[in-house]
Amino acid sequence: MPIVATPEVGIPLPFDTTPEEIDDFRQKAHAMFLTIEELHKQGLPVEVTEADKKEAHIAFAASKMPKTPTPGAIVHLESLLSEWDQEVLDVGRRLRNYVTNKLLLETADEDAKVRLRALELLGKVSSVGLFSERIDVNVTHRTVQDIEAELKKTLELYGGSVIDVEELELEEKPKAVAEIDLDAELGTPKDDAGTA
């Protein structure tokens, strides 16, 4: 019997923090833990009391550091966050294994369409990468001289010749429209009428 999961819509997230805030909280907590750890190596005694545990749980639930956390609370908060990190990674791994195992079972189905689709999805698993949908773009950087040499070879192959434009001397350089004397170019009306 298949398990049917129906998601409920409209349930708010358990906290109102952004991923950036959570990441910042995690970094701050770890930095504080490393400081306490270094101080402990230098002789600072660190003892985790029940009050420290409560303070760490409150900080963990709120994803906000208390103003003046005790060393014990910081140590316990680090252990809570490390356990949470491992649990999140473990859930992803277990879910990936579950889906892969279900797809493997579907490859033995009687229907050819189901078998083919299951095999296709198994091929798209990142560790297999058989049907990965990616485009490899190779960019080769070449100098202007290399490109010019290649163009010259191609032109010579088709019977063309290469003319260096910079070496050509133009008889008359083009002028802007404002520089052209229209009377001199087109003639004046007096010249056309024969009166000068």
Q: What is the DSSP string of 74-123?
A: HHHHHHHHHHHHHHHHHHHHHHHHHHHHHHHHHTT-SSHHHHHHHHHHHH
**Residue 17, CB-side half-sphere exposure with 13 Å CA sphere:** 15
Q: Distance (Å, rounded) from C-alpha 61 to C-alpha 53?
A: 12
- Dig out the tokens for 191 from the structure: 């010249």
Instruction: Report, as an integer, the average pLDDT of 26-47.
Output: 84
Read off the pLDDT of residues 96-138 as tens digits, 9 standing for 90 and up.
Answer: 888 888 888 888 889 999 888 888 888 887 666 666 666 778 8
CB atoms within 10 A of CB 142: 9
Of the candidates 102, 52, 100, which has an alpha carbon nearest to the alpha carbon of residue 78? 52
Q: Looking at the predicted structure, is the pLDDT value of residue 2 above 70?
A: no
pLDDT of residue 13: 46
pTM, to two decimals: 0.37
Fill in the amino acid letter for 95: L
**Mean per-residue pLDDT of the chain:** 77
What does the chain come to in residues?
A: 196
Q: Distance (Å, rounded) from C-alpha 45 to C-alpha 39?
A: 9
pLDDT of residue 49: 85
pLDDT of residue 66: 76
Read off the pLDDT of residues 38-91 as tens digits, 9 standing for 90 and up.
Answer: 888 888 888 888 888 888 888 877 777 777 888 888 888 888 888 777 776 677
DSSP 68: S
Rounded-to-5 percentages of helix, strand, coil across the chain: 60, 0, 40
